[in-house]
Structures are given as C-alpha cells and as structure tokens.
Structure 1
C-alpha cells in the first residue's frame, strides 16, 4: 500500500462528512462541529497563535485517518506547562516557537488524537511508524522546533516509537464513581472528620438559599448562554486575563451540537450568580 499525507490549514477544506466519518461521535471534542467552531469564530487562527495544520493520511486516494494539528507561536491554552523548555531554548540561543502541537485547543481532555475507523491495532501499527517519519520532516520543512502530542489515549501513546518521541508525564486528578448509588455511599469512604466537613459545607450552601438548575441542549437559551459567558469572562478577569473562547464560539456549538452540551446555573434570590 502507498500511504501519503496532506496538511490542511482549515478543517473546512476537509469537510464535516469526511472528518466525522473518521472521528465518529463518541468524543465531542474531536467532532467537526467543535473544532470547526473554534476556527470559524476566530478563536483558533494564525492571529491567535493557533494556525491549523491538520494532518490527513491517505491510502491511495482514500483518506483513512486525520489528526488535529496546530502551529503554535506560544504555549497558552494547552494546560500543559512547557515554559521551562522555552526558557532553556532561549538561554541556548535556539528558537522554541513556532512549535507543532497535536491537541484539542483549550481542552485538557484525554481522548483519541489519530482519528480513523480502522481497528486500533491496525491504525497504531500504521500511524506510529508513519508519524515517526513524517513529523520530523514537517518540523524541518516548516522551521518548527518540536512536536507535542497532548492528552493522548494510552493506546496512541504506546504506539509512538520511543526512538523518535519522548514521553512527558504529568498529573491529573480524576473522580471515579466506585459504584456509589447515593451521595451518602460516597461520603462513607471519608474519615469521620472529612465527612463532617463536607456536610457542613453543603449545609452552608443550602442555608444561603442558592438554587442549582440544569439545562441540556436546546433548553440552553440565548439568555442563559449570555449569563454563562458573562460569568466565564469574570472568572478570567479576576486573574487579570480574558477568556480564550468568545461568545460566537459558544453560539455556534449550541446550534451545531446541542445534544453534547449541559449547563449548570446557580441562582440566588431569582438572580443568576454562577
């Protein structure tokens, strides 16, 4: 078989039908609707330091896999902190930026990054050696310092040849439901002191009169979305920053993938507060 690769500077040139035929719909962050909304809203672009360079793998004329990829001129919005590497490059007179990144922008969520309908073993047997050859070539040709793949699944990670790629390990904290049927089942795993603290904190919320409401999909109205966006921006402004995502992005995914969205609203005295 003769395999070739192609780079696309916007996901629209690949198209929703072809992208989603390979990505499937199990992971909302790798769906065309999510990634395309980032680009068409201007959140992801060369101007914001996220130049799309999506990689397609072809078997003859048939596209058999895609991988989201971006040329980065900074390290913001990745939720993996490599400033130390950038400083080391700078101290040695080497340019760290631009670099090449395979990740979901602004989303530290583990999931598939090499998207295909091939069986996992077949795909990894093909993609590992191919990426080992093509990624260094792209970096050299485009003048990029390095390639980074973030939040890969274990299967994808172990398939990448260790003679070309170096593993970088980080820490995330995940909550798992250990077959808890009720919140009291969860509390039973705590020590007596911690259990009392949790109950006291929850009681204080109740005493404040805060009410929590859940809205799914099409129940998320434009008014609720604006409330959410206001809170989203305020959270960043408290730290002297602006949120990465704009209102247009959220409006787009509300329209294109409502079935994947859920919004929680906290209210006090009939006013939305969080």
Structure 2
C-alpha cells in the first residue's frame, strides 16, 4: 500500500503482539483507559477471545516513520456484529435483502469493550491533526483492499467523532447511563439528591444484603490471584447462560487469567459472600478518574443483590477514591432511577455500497431526532436535585 502521508509507512498488524507493549503504550499514555492498552488487547487475542476464528480478525492500523511507531488504531475485520454494543443488526439485514455481503466489515475499536476511549493513538510531540487524517485514510483504504463492506469507528472520543463526520462518515449518537461525581464528600451526599421516597428505596435495596447475611467487599491489588480470575470468568459465564441466545459466551477463562496477571493495578473484583462462600460478584476496571463496570454474575439469586454489587457499592467506593465517573457498561435503563445520568456515546460509519449507505444515513437522521426527548425523559425519571445544595 502506498504511504498515507509524507515519510509515513502503513503497516497492518495481524496480532497486537506484532508490536511491542512499550511502543504501543507510548501512544496511549499512562492515564489511558485499559481497553486500548497493549495488555488488554493481547489478553483478548492470545486467549482466543478475539481472533479470526471467533469473528474478530486483528487488522491493527499502525503508522511508522522509519523504525518509530508514531500513530495507531486498534482495528478488527469483523465477521459478525456480536460484542460491539453499537447495534447494526438491522443494517446487516437490509444488506442481505439488497444482495450485499455485509461481512466482513472493519471495526476500529476494542473488542467487547463498550467504553469511550481514543481511537487515534498518537505519539507525544507528533502532528495530531495530520496523523488522525492519515489513520482515517488508512482505515478506509485498507477496508476496501481487504474486501470489507464498510468501516465503523466505535466509541471514539467526541472530538474524534466530529472529525470523522467532517471526513464524510455518518455519525451516530447513542446513550449510556453514567454516574458522575459533582463533588460528593460521602455516600449520604449522593443519597441527598433524591426525594425521600426514592432515598428510602435506595437504602432498602442496599440494606437488603445485611438482612440476607451477605457482605460485599472489593478485592484488589496484591490480594488478587488466580482464583479471582477464574471466579470472574464463572460470574461472566453465569450471566451469559441466563440471557438465552443473546448471552453468547465470547470471552475465555484464559482471557480473565491474562488480564488479572497483566493489569493488576487496573483490575478489581467485587465479591458478595454469604456463609463463607462467594455467591456473586462483578469484574471492574479502574483508572484514577474512572471506574468501568464490565461483568456481573451470581450463583445464588437474592433480591436487590445485583443493584448492591454492581451499583451502590461501587458508587460509594468511587466517592471515597475521588473518581469522577463510573461507567457501568452498555444498556440498563434501571440505572436512571438510581442516579445514573444519560450520557452520549459516539460512533461513525461509512458503507461502501451507496444505496445501503444512504439508507443507513436516513435511519440515523430519524434516530437522532428522538435523542433529545429520550435524554429529557431520562433526566425527569432520575429526578436528581441540584448539586451542591443551596447554602453549601
């Protein structure tokens, strides 16, 4: 392939391990979300969770100046639409009706990780605008050359999504529900934003564990071991089994083992224990600023246990740690009434078949028209009082 910009060479990686962790992570920076770090992507691929055989064929975009890696985007040729959480199943159905092969498609993003993070990883000191444009060009050209129907940038930063739209891709905005810390000093501060009825409900739901003989705590750092990685997989597997055909197991146990070993400073496991036995838990990831909820599971069903393990416990710990945002993952309108606010997440799409591309753009235009009313409805349902309260 011809150079995408002066003095740059494009190299497509068939595995993230084709580049060193040092070179890749020099682009992400130390404060980056875990999902774009070399260790996370390597755990996905080397564990057999994100491979060509599972429909995630690595095709990472890397730009080099001589022997120096100056820019990259994690990317995969996808042979299905599972594990993306920006749903395009209807688009694939429309393609089939038009006689168009929708798969493979090129997805720029991290496998099975519905969290916003930079999709254009640029080395410090480099020309960011030029290299972002070069990566977009590389994505489009490599997708066409490898027989993909389309290019999809999933969960880019808002500024990246705006640039992608400027470059002719169709921008999509969907909603997640995030807890945001406006400066709480305690869990009681968080509760004070609800009216008395809702406040009593949250206290009752969180307090149910004590009456059930259940304790909840977070395991982190040096305490984490192989048993916790395997337990996290069992939680994930149990949840998948409870969701019928939509609960496809896509991650292997080896992924959890590798992630726990490679990223102990960013992995946490919330455990619910009863009678000396672990009965439920949640696998989370952390940075200094954010908590990311990923997978929950339980071996015993108890009322409100899910809310306590996955929401309330982590909200309190986020307040104590001074974190600004808690992202509990995709979906879950039940989060709204518990103080999680509607938050825009972005994606950008380019389909090479003009008829299908035009139909998708028409759909996105109609979908966007419903966005503001949906946000307003969610905010009314949340009913959060202003913060800080008058007089503070």
Question: TM-score, normalised on structure 2?
Answer: 0.66
Q: Which residue of 1, 5, 24 maps to 1:19?
A: 24
SS of equivalent to 1:56: strand
Q: What is the distance in 1 between the residues matched to 2:200 and 2:7?
A: 64
Pairing 1:174–2:178 present: yes
1:185 is aligned to 2:180:
no
Work out whether residues 164 and 171 of structure 2, in 8 Å CA contact, stay in contact via their aligned partners in 1: no
Distance in 1 of aligned mates of 2:228 and 2:39: 21
Q: Does 2:11 correspond to 1:6?
A: yes
Shift of 1:258: 0.8
Aligned counterpart, 1:233: 237
Distance 2:16 2:135 in 1: 20
User: Residues of 2 paired with 1:197 and 1:17: CA distance?
Assistant: 48
Bigger strand share: 2
Q: How does 1:185-264 map to 2 (within 5 A)?
A: 185-240=189-244, 241-264=247-270
Match for 2:161 among 157, 163, 182? 157
Measured in 2, the distance between the counterparts of 1:163 and 1:29 equals 25
How far apart, in 1, do the equivalents of 2:120 and 2:223 lie?
A: 33
Q: SS state of the match for residue 52, structure 2?
A: coil
> Taking structure 1 as the reference length, what is the TM-score of the superposition?
0.93
Offset of residue 89 of structure 1: 0.9
Show the counterpart of 2:101.
95
- Alignment equivalent of 1:104, drawn from 101, 107, 110: 110
* Alpha-carbon distance in 1 for matches of 2:140, 2:207: 56
Q: Give the secondary structure class of the aligned counterpart of 1:273.
A: strand
More deviation in 188-197 or 238-247? Answer: 238-247
> Structure 1 residue 151: deviation in Å?
0.7
Deviates more, 1:8-17 or 1:64-73: 8-17
**CA deviation string 1:70-115 (max 9, x = no partner):** 0000000111110111111111111111000011111111111111
Deviates more, 1:63-72 or 1:203-212: 203-212
Q: How many residues align?
A: 272
In the TM superposition, what whole-angstrom CA distance separates every residue of 1:199-234 from its partner, at most 9, and x where no partner exists?
222222221111012111231122233233222211
Structure 2 unmatched runs, 5+: 1-5, 281-392
**Cα separation, 2, equivalents of 1:5 and 1:164:** 22
Q: Provide the C-alpha distance between the structure 2 equivalents of 1:163 and 1:255, rounded to a whole number of angstroms.
A: 40
Q: Which has the higher contact order (CA 8 A, sep 6+)?
A: 2
CA-CA distance at 1:163 after TM superposition: 4.2
User: Which secondary structure state, in structure 2, belongs to the residue aligned with residue 126 of structure 1?
Assistant: helix
Deviation at 1:161, TM superposition (A): 5.1
Higher mean alpha-carbon deviation, 105-114 vs 21-30, is at: 21-30
Q: Structure 2 vs 1, CA of residues 204 and 61 (structure 1 numbering), >3 Å: closer, same or farther?
A: closer
Cα offset, 1:10, TM superposition: 0.6
Is the contact made by 2:10 and 2:61 (CA closer than 8 Å) also made in structure 1?
yes
| Aligned residue runs from structure 1 range 43-192, under 5 A | 43-118=49-124, 122-123=127-128, 125-160=129-164, 162-192=166-196
5+ residue gaps, structure 1, are none
Counterparts in 2 of 1:31 and 1:210: CA distance versus 1, 3 Å: same
